[in-house]
Amino acid sequence: MTFNLDTQAPAVEQEISPKAPQDWAKIGLILLVFAFFTVILIVPVIYVFVGAFSNGLPGFLGTLSSREFLNALRLTLMAVAVAVPLNVIFGLCAALVLARKSFRGRTFLLSVIDLPFSISPVVAGLMLVSLYGRQGLLNPVLQALDLRIIFAFPGIALATILGGMPFVAREVIPVLEEIGDEEEEAAKTLGASSWQTFWRVTLPAIRWALGYGIILTTARAMGEFGSIAVVSSNLIGRTQTLTLFVDSSYRNYDSQGAFATAVVLAGLAAFTLVIKQLLEHLYTKRYKAE
């Protein structure tokens, strides 16, 4: 058997060389994307980490053990603990109504749910102040009940709820519309109650989308800044969340403290991204298996 190297070499070279001009355009686009991410995201993140450890590990740990940081962390976790469960309950109810019921105003309600995506967080904070502030519409009622919303924890919780409100509904609605209601109707025909139908039929079908929505809601709650800056008085140790602590530290020339707190927030965000990727992997694996 003969083997002609002269006739095989051009074929190998053709496989490993880019196909002009499409491949060069693809390579250029990939390099452009990497360059964009490097300038916009990677370099700033590296700069934050370098700043956080500018005084060494003792300086970093000193910030994390300070009373101001611990109070800000406690307030942030309290806001997350209040906002996420309420947003999950609201998102599930809204998704079930919008995906399973046909009524006049459905499109308008869908648009209203998306409002926190489209309006500025600062505007959202001003909306809360105009409603619950001293000159707000509900101020007489709040005074009669001796309740204080603005410049207190209830205002921070409301701002956090408003910012994360759409995520669960927006993740669950497409899944409910895709699976339809045939299995739910079959379960009801067999005698299942509404709660049994939801728990044993609907919830297993939407659990991945629900989990994804919860992760996004939690991430937004931890990073909320604009609306909280408006409704809180930013008092250290009282109404200061982690994001406000970062801003306050930086304005007071404590850049190391600001960067250290930013690293904590980045770590929490990275953790949610890891959970998100894990859920997507499990969902894709299950979808292919089915």
Per-residue pLDDT of the chain (290 residues; tens, 9 = 90+): 444 444 444 554 455 555 566 688 888 899 999 999 899 989 998 998 999 998 888 988 988 999 999 999 999 999 999 999 999 999 999 999 999 888 888 888 888 888 888 888 999 999 999 999 888 889 899 989 888 898 899 999 999 999 899 999 999 999 999 988 888 888 888 888 888 999 889 988 898 889 889 988 998 999 899 899 999 877 887 888 999 999 999 888 888 889 999 999 888 888 887 887 787 777 677 666 66
Q: Is 169 exposed, middle or buried (0-12, 13-18, 19+ CB in 10 A)?
A: buried
| Average pLDDT over the chain, rounded to an integer | 85
